[in-house]
Amino acid sequence: MIVFADIMSAAILFAIPLLIVALGGMFSERSGTINIALEGIMIIGALFSCLYLDSVAKSGWGEKHAQLAMLLAILVAGAAGIIYALLLAIASVSLKADQTIGGTALNMFAPAFAIVLSWAVQGQGQTTINIPTWIRITQETFGFHASAHPGFFEALVFKSLYLTTPIALIILGLTVFLIYKTKFGLRLRSCGEHPQAADSVGINVYKFRYIGVGISGMLGGIGGLAFTTAAGSGFQATVAGYGFFALAVMIFGNWKPMRIFGAALFFALFKVIGAYTGSLAFLPDFSGIKSADNIYQMLPYVVTMIVLIFTSGKSRAPKAEGIPYDKGTR
């Protein structure tokens, strides 16, 4: 049973960054702007928040106020993401440039900038920014002691819990509310479906697209931090393609928040299973084949593709996404 708890907890840990970032992408695309720059935004968010965590770890303040420091790091990640995403908004909303071009440029800029900046801060060749271990939420955080033999529930909750996990779930709830239950959500969606119609009833399309891209920047940045804490070996100027997976999860989730949640869990579960093949007896171990771990690493992608092929018939992107809005056109 403990194995299942471990798998579940690892799957949730990896689903969280996917969920946050895919929700970010959804905000942007629902407003009509394709945000292919999520990968770059994640890197920038992770870069600045990890630099922040590193500095408070060195000063000693962070360890005494661990969760407050983590919360501030999340804010730093979100702010850095917003600022970086604004570069995309300026290019693709105000200047009406091609959205994939601007996004690709930002994706290319981020990892290079992360390496250059971490060299400048930590010294030549020092690419890895270490993350302090005290950011993990444990039983001690709530004032009671961890038992020597954790049960199912304890292993599930406390094996790898970070502040990003509850925050991601709050973000999910807020997103559902915001998109479907508020005036803001309706207006945002209208800008992604038919901006001319939205404009004709007095909605400022440019403003909503800026907000959409801005929110995607914030969530992308936080997702970058969530990924780095999940990966667990410090920040190495990369998020290993998670920004692109998040894009896939968003499409897989059909641009709907709850479905995105399901898609993120599904993808993460298959991603984690491969790491636990040894402890799951019912999985074949392909003993005759060399480097068989590649089969399991391939699994989440193959399964996602199969599911997509069967479910995509009705899939529909926001109608006006990718087209810069120009007041003059009809």
Partner 1 sequence: MRKRLNKIIHSHGFASFLASVASIGIGLIFGFVLLLCFKSSQSITGLGHLLFAGFSTPEKFAKVLYQAAPLIMTGLSVGFAFKTGLFNIGAVGQYIIGTFFALYAGIILQCPWWAAMLAAMLGGAIWGAIPGLCKAFFNVNEVITSIMFNWIGLFTVNLMIPNLPAILDKGVSNRTANLDATNASAIIPKWGLDKLLGSTYMNISILLSILIAVIIFIILNKTTFGYELKACGLNKNASIYAGISAKRNIVLSMVIAGGLSGLGGGIYYLSGTAQFTITKILPAMGFNGIPVALLAASNPVGTIFSALFISYIQVGGEAMQPEFAKEIVDIIIAVIIYLSAFSLLMKGLIMRILNWKRAKRLAAESEEVTK
Q: Tell the smallest beta-carbon distance from residue 135 to partner 1 (Å).
A: 26
Q: Under DSSP, is residue 129 helix (H, G, I), strand (E, B) or coil?
A: strand
Backbone angles phi, psi at 235, to 5 degrees: -90, 125
Select 283 or 305, whichever has its Cβ closest to partner 1: 305
Stretch that binds partner 1, among 49-57, 65-73, 198-206, 313-321 (CB under 8 A): 313-321
**For residue 133, how many other CB atoms are within 10 A of its CB?**
10
Q: Under DSSP, is residue 235 helix (H, G, I), strand (E, B) or coil?
A: strand
Q: In the block, which residue shows the tokens 């440019």? A: 206
Q: Tell the smallest beta-carbon distance from residue 237 to partner 1 (Å).
A: 8
Select 102 or 221, whichever has its Cβ closest to partner 1: 102
- How many residues bind partner 1, per CB under 8 A? 50
- 283 binding partner 1? (CB under 8 A): no
**For residue 223, how many other CB atoms are within 10 A of its CB?**
36
How far does CA 97 lie from the centroid of its chain? 25
d(Cα 243, Cα 85) in Å, to the nearest integer?
Answer: 13
Q: Tell the smallest beta-carbon distance from residue 58 to partner 1 (Å).
A: 21
Q: Tell the smallest beta-carbon distance from residue 305 to partner 1 (Å).
A: 5
Backbone angles phi, psi at 246, to 5 degrees: -60, -40
- 294 binding partner 1? (CB under 8 A): yes
Per the CB < 8 A criterion, the answer to whether 267 and 249 are in contact is yes
Backbone angles phi, psi at 149, to 5 degrees: -120, 90
What does the block give as tokens for 165?
């996990």
- 315 binding partner 1? (CB under 8 A): yes
Stretch that binds partner 1, among 131-139, 204-212, 222-230, 240-248 (CB under 8 A): 240-248
Q: Tell the smallest beta-carbon distance from residue 78 to partner 1 (Å).
A: 23
The contact set with partner 1 (CB under 8 A) reads 36, 87, 91-92, 95-98, 100-102, 104-106, 108-109, 111-113, 115-116, 119-120, 124, 240-241, 244-245, 247-248, 251-252, 289-292, 294-295, 297-298, 301-302, 304-305, 308-309, 312-313, 315, 317
